Structure 1
């Protein structure tokens, strides 16, 4: 429900004035608040600290990027009104004039350059943004409203990269730490809302930025309630404690569809769920023989073992039953429609006998034991997904245990490669982007492999991905990206599982356009 705060004194004064003048006045507009129940916790308010969707989604309320992405994944102007390639290694961005930060200071090219430099300074980030900035070797403020970015090699997709980097105030953040952002001290952006309060793990409150350069939000104040459990989130919606929720639990979708007081918005998202596999030359930390003795070598280094794990998974049953129809089996690491999606790749057929044969060929006729790790509060039915796959693996001789953790505990451990097999969901608008981050040989200097938990490395794949990213010819880039996807999946660098649906439930009287990136933007909720 909407919460209206009547401005009694103003309204009374207006009515009195109207009576005195003997004329009628239009009803005074009432202030409106919005409350949204979020499924995922926001772990940091620093827009450059941790590159995960919940943090990025929230940061979009306070900050803008040079380039925005619309609900269908298309690039549109943000703080930059236009961009163009001056040559194969130089991009020019023209900034909007007159854009103000929340403190009233004006956005200039200096703020842009400062913001693009900052991710590299956050050396303690568990999930850095540097993969989006490392290819930039020089930055130039041509004037206060023109920025030129130079890359060391031809690089076509730079505008998509910078769509992931939020622009912050150099004046407010030059000496600020991540703690200063989390306290609100440094939260000075150009976004549609201003920061009001943050109670970690509970709620975040923002107020409308009436000086926003774009379309003003319909809401005076927005409260984001962090409700990571599905049942309480739906209960809050049904009780009117929140006006909308994201990540609707599958079990509740049928009854919400038939309840006239609510409506659903759904879309196949860009998010692909897959297994990250430890592929380091070491005894893997959570792999043993069936008696519990650590193995001397890592079986996941063998492509036959990785393929056997893939063949052991019944993706059709997983998506139809465990995920209750809110996902489709995946053959790629990106969803259909994304640049570089390779139609020639087929979903891995469920073949438990083939899996057993591969394990035998790899020297594990009796299988082995491992622990599957995953979050329990991030993706649709994520804990049940891990449990289901453990059952599939047990049928081919892999004795699988399950350990799931809250996202805040899971990501830091996974990011340090502490697990043997770990569940990750990733969304991107281009295959080569995803491969660079997820399967690229880890390199702190270039930002490649920043989410490559398994430390997979394939120089041939790196070369293909680099060629794709370097192309300024869209058709050639698409062709190279498809080849790279085929190579990565033939080598089972990752094991794709499914593409999930994104779902929102809203009370009657609200509207929201479902987004392929799954982001929940308060400024895009509107009254009907």
Structure 2
């Protein structure tokens, strides 16, 4: 199984997406009245790959959602809406049914049948570290009935978040041409691999990417609130990680819509010609390399790190207080996320010094954690004030994502997108199968007691019962300093007049953007 991990950083989606027809249309769109048919936007870096099962980082999510359709999509208030599946039945944690929409085609014209979907899901199970997030500990039994256009999924262990997991871009449907050419799939050069509305028509690494709307055979999510406009015929991404430069581009007309973070968000205050909506695009928390023999395998050392930190100061550092201090690894809008700080380890600088003085701590961080990684720098300074010697490496997001799967670090500030918007989706980064064993867990310790609680939660469809179980899990995570909840990266989906970047269930997915009527 591939050992790529889901790397996380800012923005669940930067603005891009598109000219809108009707959210459930299965045909191409056209601009009218002399209006533009293109959206110009930005992404932080080159996508790490175009193979959805190995997506890592915000750029892969932003672009990948245009190329690969999913069976279902998330809508407001934690609801699900049809995508490639026109109908679905998901009320049994052990059994799901998906009816494939009529008229769906791959980028090369191949019909998207139930068997095509089955083969893609089996490829996902074999190759993606997200497998356990989507299907839990079971190996799913996936069956296809082409005559009935139906795909069924059966699980030995119930997993109530399975359908929500299938909304993630990693579970996007890869068509037969892509499965036959994995190398070309990863490079984005197999047009026939794409099941989504767009194809990749130009890719200049380090500079830009261009996506073009297909003529037919695709669908957009059937969002309850229909967009007032058209999806774009072209979406052009400029690679730009400088938030002030992005803001300049929006204000001068270089860009039409984009995500903006940090102080640059306030540059649109009072500007009525811009739609600017803020959301928590990533949660930030300290987490540790707990592999056997490493310093952070010791609970007392982890607790001391937590005691050295002032969470309010961290929050001020990463965004000028525009966010808020969080009390969970998950953002407040995720069902069952803790909102009380009762179990959080409180700052105690003197206690921290007694443990940390003289210790060397290898810290890696993503530059997404505040302006130029300011959050990481604050953590390093706080630990040095407690007597530790900190070797900090502030890295671009893609490099950081790669580095944290190695055994070369002790501490990082995790920037978690949690695209499934579930507790299980957040837990995956530090519980369950480790990256060394093909999982997503970067901590090096499976934390089996938390895994067991997650299994109990996933076995029930009763929300109250689930939340009580997750409350126990969060308390243990806090008390054992497996994670130290800190704050969130606030992102602003910003669109100039004539364009829209809707927020959908806590994020701003690229595929939801459009050009207004």
TM-score category (smaller protein): 0.7 to 0.9
| Structure 2 partner of 1:489 | 478
CA contact (8 A) 2:202 2:211 kept: yes
Moved more, 348-357 or 382-391: 348-357
Q: Give the structure, 1 or 2, with the largest relative contact order (CA under 8 Å, sep 6 or more).
A: 2
CA contact (8 A) 1:263 1:508 kept: yes
Whole-angstrom CA distance in 1 between matches of 2:52 and 2:435? 22
3-state SS of 2:143 partner? strand
| TM-score, length of structure 1 as denominator length | 0.82
CA contact (8 A) 2:133 2:162 kept: no
Report the CA distance shift for 1:170/1:405 in structure 2 as closer, same or farther (over 3 A).
Answer: same
Whole-angstrom CA distance in 2 between matches of 1:525 and 1:310? 43
Task: Within 5 Å, give how 1:112-511 maps onto structure 2.
Answer: 112-122=117-127, 129=131, 131-133=133-135, 135-144=138-147, 145-164=149-168, 165-186=170-191, 188-211=193-216, 212-214=218-220, 217-248=230-261, 250-259=262-271, 262-269=274-281, 271-282=282-293, 284=294, 298=295, 300-346=296-342, 347-357=344-354, 359=355, 366-376=357-367, 378-381=368-371, 383-428=373-418, 429-442=421-434, 450-511=439-500
Shift of 1:316: 1.0
Q: Deviations over 1:110-148 (max 9, x none)?
A: 1111111113444xx7x6555435634311113441111
Shift of 1:87: 5.1
Shift of 1:443: 8.1
CA contact (8 A) 2:57 2:401 kept: no
3-state SS of 1:64 partner? coil
Whole-angstrom CA distance in 1 between matches of 2:196 and 2:513? 13
| Structure 2 partner of 1:10 | none
3-state SS of 2:88 partner? strand
Shift of 1:339: 1.9
Whole-angstrom CA distance in 2 between matches of 1:40 and 1:71? 28
Report how many residues are paired.
Answer: 473
Q: Deviations over 1:199-225 (max 9, x none)?
A: 222211111234233478432211011
Shift of 1:55: 1.1
Whole-angstrom CA distance in 1 between matches of 2:57 and 2:508? 11
User: Residue 70 of structure 1 is aligned with which of 48, 67, 75?
Assistant: 75
Report the CA distance shift for 1:497/1:239 in structure 2 as closer, same or farther (over 3 A).
Answer: same
Shift of 1:332: 0.6
Report the CA distance shift for 1:43/1:173 in structure 2 as closer, same or farther (over 3 A).
Answer: same
Shift of 1:265: 1.9
CA contact (8 A) 1:276 1:494 kept: yes
3-state SS of 1:329 partner? coil
Whole-angstrom CA distance in 2 between matches of 1:101 and 1:518? 27
**5+ unaligned residues in a row in structure 1: which ranges?**
3-26, 285-297
Whole-angstrom CA distance in 2 between matches of 1:482 and 1:256? 38
Report the CA distance shift for 1:64/1:337 in structure 2 as closer, same or farther (over 3 A).
Answer: same
| TM-score, length of structure 2 as denominator length | 0.83
Q: Deviations over 1:83-126 (max 9, x none)?
A: 2257552221222222222322221111111111113444xx7x
